[in-house]
Structure 1
Amino acid sequence: MTVSAGSADVLTRLRQETRPYHDALEANEFNQQLKAGTPTEAAAARFLAKLYGFVVPFEAQLRAHAEEFGPEWELTRRYRASLLHQDLPAAATLPLAPNLPPLHTRAQLLGAMYVLEGSTLGGQVISRQLAKAGIAARAYFSGHAEQTGPLWKSFVGLLAEAATPATTDEIVASAILTFQRLHAWIEQA
């Protein structure tokens, strides 16, 4: 993989510039329960339902633009809405987020993918915390199991390769907006 000039900093910028939004998202009620060691089945189900409402329309947009990505992106392995269907028997009746970030360009999709692919790492942590609390495993949080780390590394490598000086600002802005919109959706009653 050859990283284009100036694009390696996209990863540094994403980590630094999205940190406040990532932290705000993690301050939600469910994550606070996890940190306190007091998660409940009901809270896990509510959190998964909110994720469903965001992930499903995001993946629909990604599928609509799949031709802009080559086979090396392994998009079909990255889709996780089906895992939410496994976790939530009434998933099809759940509301969908009406206010996704714009996902019309490859750069916008890459920024949003950074957030949602990164959540696979957090899902591994959540899965372990639920197990400690005696709460049944959830397919969505377990996600790619032992393949989570390698898939994340593959993603960030491809992202660094795909980013250019002309697209880096748009990728970072999309990631920030994705964190903001996901946070707003999760916090919405």
Structure 2
Amino acid sequence: MTVSAGSTDILTRLRQEARPSHDALEANEFNQALTAGTISEAATARFLAKLYGFVVPFEEQLRAHSHWFGPEWELERRFRSPLLRQDLPAANSLPLAPNLPPLHTRAQLLGALYVLEGSTLGGQVIARQLAKNGIPTRAYFSGHAEQTGPLWKSFVQLLAAAATPETADEIIASASLTFQRLHQWIEQA
């Protein structure tokens, strides 16, 4: 797949314009404990439970609008709620986030998908840090294992090809709002 120079602008803009929301999300209590080496299995389980509450309704919305995405997107392969269910035996009784960002247009879904797909890369880092701290590996953080990089690269190429000058602002706004809503949900007691 060839990506034109103009369509690459969406990726640069996403990295730059969504950065403040991304950085705020990464400053959460779990990541601070992880970085400090004070992470526990209980804190990891709480964090995974929060992720479950956000990922499950997001993936339901994506499934409901999957007609906007061709087979090249490999949506089912990208879904990570099964990994969370594997990590959390009582997952079906966990609360779901009531305040997802709007996911009513393809551009909104693309922006949110950028956040969730990007978390597969962060999950790899978290998995290594958990192992370093003696916390058992979690399926969610291991994600797609050795396929994480290739799937991310594929996603980025598809996103760059799908974005247009008319949809770029909406994609970026959705990514920023997704970071913000995920952060609010994780920090909520």
TM-score by length of structure 1 reads: 0.98
The residue that corresponds to 2:122 in the other structure is 122
Could you tell me which residue of structure 2 aligns to residue 52 of structure 1? 52
Q: Distance in 1 between matches of 2:67 and 2:19?
A: 30
Say whether 1:154 aligns with 2:154: yes
Alignment partner, residue 181 of structure 1: 181
Aligned pair 1:99/2:118, yes or no? no
Deviations 1:15-55 (A, max 9, x none): 00111111100111110011111210011001000000000
Equivalent in the alignment of 1:70: 70
Report the Cα distance in structure 2 between the residues aligned to 1:101 and 1:20, rounded to whole angstroms: 17
Q: Report the Cα distance in structure 1 between the residues aligned to 2:162 and 2:179, rounded to whole angstroms.
A: 21
> Counterparts of 2:76 and 2:155 in 1: how far apart (Å)?
13
**Cα offset, 1:90, TM superposition:** 0.6
Aligned-pair identity in percent equals 83
SS of aligned partner of 2:135: coil
Match of 2:17 in 1: 17
Question: C-alpha distance in 1, partners of 2:102/2:4?
Answer: 25
Q: Work out the CA distance in 1 between the residues paired with 2:2 and 2:98.
A: 38
SS in 2 for 1:110: helix
Q: CA RMSD in A?
A: 0.9
Q: CA deviation at 1:139?
A: 0.4
**Alpha-carbon distance between aligned partners in 1 of 2:148 and 2:50, rounded to the nearest angstrom:** 22
1:88 aligns with 2:91: no
How far did 1:134 drift? 0.9
- With the length of structure 2 as denominator, give the TM-score of the two structures: 0.98
Q: Is the 8 A contact 1:5 1:164 kept in 2?
A: no
Q: In structure 2, how many angstroms separate the alpha carbons of the residues matched to 1:174 and 1:4?
A: 23
Equivalent residue number for residue 38 of structure 2: 38
- Report SS of the residue matched to 2:38: coil
- Alpha-carbon separation, structure 1, partners of 2:154 and 2:35: 29
Deviations, residues 119-170 of structure 1 (Å, cap 9, x unaligned): 0000000001111111111000000000000000000000000000000000
Aligned positions, number: 189
Q: Which runs of 5+ in 2 are unaligned?
A: none
Matched AA of 1:119: S
Secondary structure at 1:128 match in 2: helix
Distance 1:165 1:178 in 2: 21
Q: Which ranges of 4 or more aligned residues in structure 1 deviate by more than 4 Å?
A: none
Partner of 1:113: 113
Kindly state the Cα deviation for residue 67 of structure 1 after the two structures are TM-superposed: 1.1
1:30 touches 1:39 (CA, 8 Å); kept in 2? yes
C-alpha displacement at 1:5, in angstroms?
6.9
1:133 alignment counterpart: 133
CA deviation digits over 1:41-83, x for unaligned, max 9?
Answer: 0110010000000000000000001111011101011000000
Distance in 1 (alpha carbons) for counterparts of 2:6 and 2:174: 18
